[in-house]
Chains A and B, each alone.
Chain A
Amino acid sequence: MKTPQGIPLEYYLWLSAALFTIGVLGVLYRRNAIIIFMCIELMLNAVNLLLVAFSNYYNDASGQVFVFFIMAVAAAEVAVGLAILIMMYRNTKTTDINTLDRLKW
């Protein structure tokens, strides 16, 4: 139940859940697209943390390798996402996501 460092694994579970929830809260709470993006990064990191904790607990390196790849993908995603965001700003002159509501019934 304890990691080799002596910390119970459940603590990492609650911590990761808390960070993830805060990320979700941020996505629901704010209207600025950039802030929302950052909260998504926060969510990803919560997951990374949990993966590393498990990898440490089980002495399995696959968890850390996975985190490595998640980071690479997150970087790519941020690049492209921000590019899209800039395009959106160019067209609507604002970063408020509620302005993009034409695809409706």
Chain B
Amino acid sequence: MVNVDILTTLVPVLPLLGFLIISWRVKKLQYGTTVVIACGVVLVSFIISAALFFQLLDRPEDQRFIEVTLFDWIQAGNFTAKISFLVDPLSSVMLLIITGVGFLIHVYSLGYMQGDDGFNRFFSYLNLFVFFMLLLVMGSNYLLMFVGWEGVGLCSYLLIGFWFKNKDYTDAANKAFIMNRVGDLGLIIGVILIFIQFGSIEYQQVFVQVGTRAMGSPVITLITVLLFIGAMGKSAQIPLYTWLPDAMAGPTPVSALIHAATMVTAGIYMVARNNILYSLAPFSQSLVLVVGLATALFAATIALTQNDIKKVLAYSTVSQLGLMFVALGVGAYSSGIFHMMTHAFFKALLFLGAGSVIHGMQGVQDIRKMGGLRKYLPTTHATFLIGVLAISGIPPFAGFFSKDEILARAFEVNPVIWGIALLASLLTAFYMFRLLFLTFYGEGRAGHDSLHHIHESPASMTLPLIALAVLSTVGGWIGIPEALSGSNRIHEFLNPVFAKSQSLMTEDPLNHATEYILMSTVIVLTLVMIAMAYIMYVKRNNVPVEEGVKLNPVHQVVYHKYFVDELYDRIIVKPLYRIASMLDSMVERLGIDRLVNSAGNAVVDGSSVVRLLQTGNIGFYVFAMVVGIILMLATTLIMK
């Protein structure tokens, strides 16, 4: 049995090695070698993660973690930061998702990105991203998490702007990075406060101390609010969400991996990791809840009107992330993690399916130019259908169990929350089926050229689709609630992480009858929405109008994403530019340049006066000498 510590260290180190090797020979590496290295390291990391998972599964609750310390990184006075990993139920679930879904997306990419000039560069970035994400979830202290946090932001920037020759894409990359950084400021200040307050940045040490604090302590509230600001940026919640739809400029595998399955879930992970802090700060929990609800509903309404496949999925991601934050906000931490897991499966599936459609349509992304693609892309259609069913929450697919849990927990706290979350879910079902119908069903609106070239994707792309479809189907079965006579295994597994928070919960669990009623209501309403979508988009063939045609005012506002981007531009971006140019002309040119130049000019002017002493006249020189001696002697005289 190999040493567990070495195995644990290998998990992040392998993708790092992959990145180093590929980027070192980025110009020369052959297609086959790159593929083997890039996919291989992730696969091996996945196998190790699975082994670790099974290790943890066997252990009793109080021993369900593995800690590996590599070395002391920083030592400054009272502050110590170690490079050490913590594998507990929460991080091992994340490990499986990251490496598992990551591996599938790597395999997909070797088909999708084939022939691209930057093929090697793409895989090196992907590996680097996996490394940083693993660092984020495996770090046992805030600093290491923050390193991973920033690193995935960097990789997101690199991958969104992957086709860097297009200025729009690089603008989108800038936007993503800058918005992330705004959130990161909150995160940094939060971590600093944690250090000041608790004297350490190691999770274990902090959480032990936190447990002794009173409920509603102002410091903890402040810390949690700041941490949540970081989560807002990274997980695209209001108001820092506008980067995610623009990030669709990157290649579709990037959208699937980073902006659906892993990076955006970093915020969820962080809040879940700090669950004890949030449980002690009801204000922050309410904040998380409100923001999550608002985002879920808001993004869902926008997704109703979008016509680009990837944009619909992007807003859907924002909305689902909002739902996960709702779960965290009501204290249902393990439900939030459960939904994150199932969401990773079906959202990655949907994105990869969309990529397959785009690939087949030679780059067309507008659903108004699609339709009836069912017969040309059978596998894509079948898997996409499964993904849509999963996200809509139809049993027995994965989305049903996780979403149902969140709704049930929300109802326990307040039926109003349940109502709004239900509304968001119903809208989700509607627009997802709208997407499905407009793309795959109905009469074909694709141009003649597209139809001429359309073909099903190669096996490297369809196999991951099938794998993810399977996961989307069975993935929810580890969380079957007791109401349906399941054993809810995932909650048992995650219990040690959230136990303390659970003990602070005051709501009574629902009795089974209520749960049945809620469940059936949701299912029925969802089916109604699906039927409505079918009628609208298949029976009545209600195709969305072309660009430029006048829409009714409400539709116009929603279609333009409530003009939020324009608003930000007006109140933030333009004033910043104005301030910057003002500072440039006033402070920089007039102030600093003048100061520096005048120093130089002073020297020049001074020397042009002093040089007149060099008359060349020897008599004058002697005279000056004598005068100097007189002055010196006179000075000594006066001194006496």
Which residues of A pack against B, CB within 8 Å?
Answer: 24, 27-28, 31, 97-98, 100-105
With A24-B626, A28-B623, A28-B626 in contact, is A100–B618 under 8 Å at CB? yes
Residues of A within 8 A of B622 (CB): 27-28
Residues of A within 8 A of B619 (CB): 28, 31, 97-98
Residue contact B616 to A97, C-beta cutoff 8 Å: no
Does B640 make an interface contact (CB < 8 A)?
no
Residues of B within 8 A of A102 (CB): 616
Cα A24 to Cα B616 with chains together (Å): 20
Which of B612, B614, B623, B626 is in CB contact (< 8 Å) with A103? Answer: B614
- Interchain residue pairs A-B with the least CB separation, the first 5: A104-B616, A101-B616, A105-B611, A105-B614, A97-B618
Residue interface bits B611-634, CB-to-A below 8 A is 1, else 0: 110111111001100100000000
Cα A102 to Cα B619 with chains together (Å): 14
Residue contact B617 to A101, C-beta cutoff 8 Å: yes
Q: Which of B612, B617, B619, B626 has the most CB of A within 10 A?
A: B619
Residues of A within 8 A of B612 (CB): 105
- How many B residues have CB within 8 A of the partner chain? 11
Question: For residue B617, which residue of chain A has the nearest CB?
Answer: A101
Question: For residue B610, which residue of chain A has the nearest CB?
Answer: A105
A25 to chain B, nearest CB (A): 9
Residues of B within 8 A of A104 (CB): 614-617
What are 29 A-B contacts defined by CB distance under 8 Å?
A24-B626, A27-B622, A28-B619, A28-B622, A28-B623, A28-B626, A31-B619, A97-B618, A97-B619, A98-B617, A98-B618, A98-B619, A100-B616, A100-B618, A101-B615, A101-B616, A101-B617, A101-B618, A102-B616, A103-B614, A103-B616, A104-B614, A104-B615, A104-B616, A104-B617, A105-B611, A105-B612, A105-B614, A105-B615
Q: A98-B617, A104-B616, A105-B612 are in contact. List 14 more A-B contacts (CB 8 A).
A: A24-B626, A27-B622, A28-B619, A28-B623, A97-B618, A98-B618, A100-B616, A100-B618, A101-B615, A101-B616, A101-B618, A103-B614, A104-B614, A105-B615
Residues of B within 8 A of A97 (CB): 618-619
Cα A20 to Cα B247 with chains together (Å): 90
Question: For residue A100, which residue of chain B has the nearest CB?
Answer: B618
Cα A21 to Cα B615 with chains together (Å): 25
Cα A71 to Cα B623 with chains together (Å): 26
Question: For residue B613, which residue of chain A has the nearest CB?
Answer: A105
Cα A28 to Cα B617 with chains together (Å): 12
Q: Which of A27, A31, A100, A105 has the most CB of B within 10 A?
A: A105
Question: For residue B618, which residue of chain A has the nearest CB?
Answer: A97
B637 to chain A, nearest CB (A): 14
Question: For residue B608, which residue of chain A has the nearest CB?
Answer: A105
Residues of A within 8 A of B614 (CB): 103-105
Cα A24 to Cα B623 with chains together (Å): 9
B window 563-601: CB within 8 A of A: none
Residues of B within 8 A of A98 (CB): 617-619
Cα A100 to Cα B619 with chains together (Å): 10
Residues of B within 8 A of A24 (CB): 626
Cα A27 to Cα B611 with chains together (Å): 24
A37 to chain B, nearest CB (A): 12
Residues of B within 8 A of A28 (CB): 619, 622-623, 626
Residues of A within 8 A of B623 (CB): 28
Question: For residue A30, which residue of chain B has the nearest CB?
Answer: B619
A29 to chain B, nearest CB (A): 9
Cα A31 to Cα B617 with chains together (Å): 11
Question: For residue B623, which residue of chain A has the nearest CB?
Answer: A28
B119 to chain A, nearest CB (A): 67
Cα A98 to Cα B617 with chains together (Å): 6
Residues of B within 8 A of A100 (CB): 616, 618
Cα A101 to Cα B618 with chains together (Å): 7
Cα A55 to Cα B191 with chains together (Å): 82
Question: For residue A25, which residue of chain B has the nearest CB?
Answer: B626
A22 to chain B, nearest CB (A): 13
A95 to chain B, nearest CB (A): 12
Residues of B within 8 A of A105 (CB): 611-612, 614-615
B629 to chain A, nearest CB (A): 9
Cα A27 to Cα B626 with chains together (Å): 10
B605 to chain A, nearest CB (A): 14
Cα A64 to Cα B612 with chains together (Å): 44
Question: For residue A27, which residue of chain B has the nearest CB?
Answer: B622
A91 to chain B, nearest CB (A): 15
Cα A100 to Cα B616 with chains together (Å): 7
Cα A101 to Cα B616 with chains together (Å): 4
B604 to chain A, nearest CB (A): 14
Question: For residue A33, which residue of chain B has the nearest CB?
Answer: B618
Cα A103 to Cα B614 with chains together (Å): 8
Cα A103 to Cα B611 with chains together (Å): 12
Residues of B within 8 A of A103 (CB): 614, 616
Cα A72 to Cα B48 with chains together (Å): 95
B506 to chain A, nearest CB (A): 91
Cα A97 to Cα B619 with chains together (Å): 7
Cα A73 to Cα B612 with chains together (Å): 35
B113 to chain A, nearest CB (A): 70
B619 to chain A, nearest CB (A): 6
Cα A31 to Cα B622 with chains together (Å): 12
Residues of A within 8 A of B616 (CB): 100-104
Residues of B within 8 A of A31 (CB): 619
B633 to chain A, nearest CB (A): 11
Question: For residue B629, which residue of chain A has the nearest CB?
Answer: A24
A104 to chain B, nearest CB (A): 3
Residues of A within 8 A of B615 (CB): 101, 104-105
B609 to chain A, nearest CB (A): 11
Question: For residue B607, which residue of chain A has the nearest CB?
Answer: A105
Cα A29 to Cα B623 with chains together (Å): 10
Residues of B within 8 A of A27 (CB): 622
Cα A27 to Cα B619 with chains together (Å): 8
Cα A27 to Cα B625 with chains together (Å): 11
Question: For residue B622, which residue of chain A has the nearest CB?
Answer: A27
Residues of A within 8 A of B626 (CB): 24, 28
Cα A102 to Cα B616 with chains together (Å): 6
B18 to chain A, nearest CB (A): 68
A13 to chain B, nearest CB (A): 14
Cα A98 to Cα B621 with chains together (Å): 11
Cα A18 to Cα B618 with chains together (Å): 24
Cα A24 to Cα B619 with chains together (Å): 11
B626 to chain A, nearest CB (A): 6
B window 101-142: CB within 8 A of A: none
Q: Which of A28, A31, A100, A102 has the most CB of B within 10 A?
A: A28
Residues of A within 8 A of B611 (CB): 105
Cα A77 to Cα B618 with chains together (Å): 19
Residue interface bits B384-395, CB-to-A below 8 A is 1, else 0: 000000000000
Cα A97 to Cα B623 with chains together (Å): 13
